[in-house]
Every structure is written in structure tokens, then in C-alpha cells.
Amino acid sequence: MAQENEQQNGRWARIKSILSAAALLLSIIGSVAMVGGGALWLWADDIRDFGLGVMGVGFGILVVAGIFSSVNIRELLSGQRGRFAINSLVMIIAFVGIVVFVNFISYFNVSRADTTASKQFSLALQSVQVLEGLNQDVHATAFFIPDKAETAADRLLADDLMFEFERRSGRTFTYEFVDPESDPSTAGLFQLTQFPAIVFQARDTGQAVVLNVPPLSEQDLTSMLLIVTGEEQKQVYFLTGHGERDIINANPDDPSGFAFAARGVINDSYGAAPLNLAQTGSVPEDAAVIVIAGPTRNMALVEFDALDIWIKDGGRAIFMMDPPVPNSFRSLLEPWGITVGDTTIVDAGSSLFGDLRSPLLQSGQYVQGVPITRDLDTALFPRATPIEISLPPEKTPPWVQYTPLAQTTTLSWKTSDADRDDFDPGAGDVLGPYMVAMTVHACGVIGVEIDATLVPGGRSLRCSTAEGTKDPTTLVIFGDSDFAANSFAAYSTNLDFFLNSVNFATEDFGLISIRPKPFAFRELVVTSQEFDFIRFSSWFLLPSAVGLASVLVWWRRR
């Protein structure tokens, strides 16, 4: 028995000696396994579990190596060099821990600042409100082929936009990128055949919509979020058939085109479509707002009746009238106490240089406290006609509310003469100021006595009647349509004025804001001498300064 114990002790001693001799090799193997497993866990999402297992094996090997070289470790650590190594190791671990902690905190508390003058990298207020109001989780899967150079810019834009969407939504919106070539099964789930594309899927309902890329914009992503979460898209119809502005015409120099305004409506997540009442015979049931932009001919009786009935039944319309206003459209506004005519405004106090018939509306000419004009800057109204209320204030019925939006200066007047820009009271000119934009809320027309009053009700006014409450008729009236046409829409806040009126009419008050400005490309233009100075100073001046400083330091130490 004693002999057997002695043999076992001998074998165990040999094993210990072998492991002690191999401790250095085991330490190297364990360290490599720990580093390699950590790299797999950090950067290879598909095999993270395998990387975790490799780290576990590496840690076990390091433990074995430490146990069988404990004597050497104790001798090493007990000396002065060992204590210095321990201190260094503690400092390294503390530094790494602080860095990891700071990165962990910053990962969950991302802060970004847009320092561009036009805030071109900031999300629009509309998008932020949609993200903050998401009623369910939405996940976006972006299918991009990484090796395609022609889609690299689109992928970078998509990543930047969706990162900001995820951050502003509090991770209610999430996203990921998938390579359809290496993972065709995921693309097959959505039956995709063309790439790149982004699939938006609602977690609760499972509904999915596909956005083909390019083009790609912030408005496209916002619209997809509204669609996938089941938000009903409001329809804005542009009346046609009477010489109105053409929402298809996108020529920037054509004053008859209205495509930029229609595109702005679409970017605000509405539907936009033309409406020919002679063809339909009635206003569509899904019409949220009807825009009447610059008619030049009268409506047929069937069209007039259809539009008149719809407006009186609580409809919402935006009138943009140019002089001379056709009689049928005048008649459409008269029951609401609004008069527009053939006269044109001449404004000597604030107008475009060299053209007194193009009034410039500046900040002091807007009525304060009205959502439509909040944050507006200068607006240009070429060839505007005045908007007048046919009733004095004391005779205005309680169920009708007029809200002026903007007016001309006191040095303005209205005239029927198409050529004369000098004030002549003898020729019928009448001094202003005049309203060029206003809103009307009414429970009924002014000529018919009704038992109703306008009362506050939630986000909008309501009509209180003996039968209960109902929505009032809402009209936004402009004395000009040119300001939102293609040739003037880009001027200052012209387009914002129109789009804000659409938001107001649909009661999307949260959307009333200044839209994001397009990307501003700023080019540095220099002369040949200035370019030579920049080039040679960067080649020789800075290196020479560094070299001179090093010589001075050497000389002082010498």
C-alpha cells in the first residue's frame, strides 16, 4: 500500500513539474483565447456565443497556469519589481474600467449638436413629433449590398437618419442593416427582389411597408412610420378645371407651376391630388382640405353647388385668389362675409425694389398669436388683391369668427388701374392698410339666423347648437396665389406660409413650423495668389516652424 501511494505521489509530482514548466505556454494560450474570444463577442454578432465559450476556455487555462506557477508568482510579486508591476496593473485596470464606464454612459446618453447655419442635419419638428408619439414599436430592416459603391452614399444617409430616429424615439424605433447577398433568407421573408430597400415593420400588428431607395429623405422615413403604424393619411385636393395652378408643373421659372407647393404638402405626410368637380360631381369623402389656387375662369353650376354644399357642411378650404377674381368664386365667399374683387394692392411702404405691386410682408405686418404666422419671416405677395370683411364688427354674428393674418403698410392703397402706380384718390384709389391673408371659422353663413355659437373645444373651435356640437367651417383666404407658385415658393418663408395654412386647416397644429432648409453647399473661392499662399504655407511654413521650435529646445537644453 505504501509503495502504491509513493508511486501515485511520484506521478502527481511529475504532472505538477510538467504543468509548472508549461505554465508560461499555458498563460500565452489562455491570453490569446481570451483576446480572440472577446474580439469575436464584440464584432461577430453571428458567433457571439462561440466567442463567449472561447473566452471561458481561455480563462480556465489561465487559472490552471496560475495555480501551478503560484510559487513563482509569489516570489515575483514579493520583490520590489513585483510590487511595481502590481501598481502598474492596478492603474491599467482602473484606467480601462473608467474608459469602459464612460463609454457605457455615453452609449445610452447620446448627445448631438448641429452647428450648421441652416440646421440641415437636424430633424424637422414634424418628424420629432411623429417619433415621440409612436403608439407601438417599429423595426426597420435596411437591405444594402456593402460592396456596391454607387449605393454607399445612400447607405450612409440611411444610417445617419435612422440613428437619429432611433435616438429621438427612445428606441421605440429600431433598425438594422442586412446584406441580401449573404443573408437571402431574410430578404425572402419580405419578397424583395430589388435592392437597396428599407422594410418598416410594426411589432404589434406585423404590418410591413417597403421603401425603395433611392431617393431617400427624412420625409420618406416619417411617412413610412405613419403608414406602418396605421395613421390615416389626410388627403389634400387641388381644384382644377378653371385655370388653377398646375401641381404637375415643376418648372422653377414657370409662375403657373405649383409642383413645389404640392411636394411640400406630400413632405408634410399628406396625400396630394387634383380634383375636377366636373368629372367627380362631388367632393371626395376623404378630402381633408381643398386648395383653390389662382382660378381664372368661372365654375359650372354643378361644380359650384357641390363645393358650396361641402363647405357649408363643415368643410375646410384654402382660397388663393388673384385679381380679377372670377364671379363664381366671389359668390362662394360672399355668404361668409368675405369680399374679394378686381383691385390690386400698391404698397409704397414695403414692396419689392422697383415693383410697388409686389408687397413684402415683414415680421411686424403679421398678426401675433396666430399659429400660421408664428416664426414666419419675410413673404412676397406679387399682384395681391385685398381681402375685406363685408360686415362691420358690431354686426358680425356670434357664430362667425374672423382672424386676420397679415396686412400691408399704411402707405398702401388699392387701385383698379393696371398700369398706374401713383396714388390718385380721384381715380378711385383707396388708402390701406389691407388684409392679404385671413382665416374664417363659422358655424353657418352670415345671412341666415341660426342658434349656434363658436366655443373652445379641445384643439379647435366647436359649434355649440341645440342639437349638440359640430365642427365649424374653416377657411383660409389669401389675396394672392403667386407667393406659393414655383417661381416664388423658395423666397424666404413663402412656402412655409402656405404649408402652415394647410396644417392649420387640417388641425395639425404641431406641424406648423419652418421646414428644414436644403443642403447648403459653401464653396471657398480664392485667387491664384491666395491658393499659392495656402499651399506653400502648409508645405513649408508649418514644418519650418516646428523645426525651428525643436532647434530652440535643443539649444536651450544644450
Q: What is the mean pLDDT of residues 63-76?
A: 64
Over the chain, what is the mean pLDDT?
Answer: 83
Distance, first Cα to last Cα, the chain: 79
pLDDT of residue 409: 94
Picking from 200, 190, 194, the residue whose alpha carbon sits closest to that of residue 224 is: 200
Surface-to-core class of residue 153, CB atoms within 10 Å of its CB (0-12 exposed, 13-18 middle, 19+ buried)? exposed
Give the E-state strand segments of 448-502 in sequence order: 452-457, 460-465, 468-470, 473-478
pLDDT of residue 228: 81
Reported as a single tens digit per residue, the pLDDT across 424-472 is 999 999 998 999 999 999 999 998 888 888 887 656 678 887 777 888 9
For the domain made up of 235-511, the CATH class stated in words is alpha beta
- Residue spans of the domains in the chain: they are 13-108, 125-228, 235-511, 523-558
Q: What is the mean pLDDT of residues 212-241?
A: 82
Q: Which of 53-62, 92-101, 278-287 has the highest mean pLDDT?
A: 278-287
Picking from 140, 144, 139, 141, the residue whose alpha carbon sits closest to that of residue 196 is: 144
SS3 318: strand
Judge: domain 125-228, CATH 3.40.30.10: yes
* Distance from C-alpha of 355 to C-alpha of 347, rounded to nearest angstrom: 9
pLDDT at 114 over 60: yes
Give the E-state strand segments of 117-259 in sequence order: 138-143, 173-178, 197-202, 208-212, 235-239
For 360-367, which contacts have Cβ atoms below 8 Å and span 24 or more sequence positions? 361/406, 361/408, 361/436, 365/406, 365/407, 365/408, 365/409, 366/405, 366/406, 367/403, 367/404, 367/405, 367/406, 367/407
* Distance from C-alpha of 396 to C-alpha of 138, rounded to nearest angstrom: 50
pLDDT class of 250 with cuts at 50, 70, 90? confident
Reported as a single tens digit per residue, the pLDDT across 483-505 is 999 999 988 889 999 999 998 99
pLDDT of residue 388: 95
SS3 207: coil
Residue 413 phi/psi, 5-degree rounding, is: -155, 165
Residues 366 and 405 sit within 8 Å (Cβ to Cβ)? yes
Higher pLDDT: 364 or 104? It is: 364
Please tell me the least confidently modeled range out of 102-111, 162-171, 255-264, 535-544: 102-111
Percent of the chain with pLDDT over 70: 84
pLDDT at 276 over 90: yes
pLDDT at 510 over 80: no
pLDDT of residue 105: 74
Residues 220 and 209 sit within 8 Å (Cβ to Cβ)? no
* Distance from C-alpha of 424 to C-alpha of 431, rounded to nearest angstrom: 10
Q: What is the mean pLDDT of residues 92-120?
A: 72
8-state DSSP, 45: G
* Distance from C-alpha of 466 to C-alpha of 31, rounded to nearest angstrom: 84
Instruction: Give every CB contact of residue 476 below 8 A, 6+ residues apart in sequence.
Output: 317, 318, 319, 372, 437, 438, 439, 440, 501, 504, 505
* Distance from C-alpha of 371 to C-alpha of 405, rounded to nearest angstrom: 10
Residues 500 and 476 sit within 8 Å (Cβ to Cβ)? no
SS3 133: coil
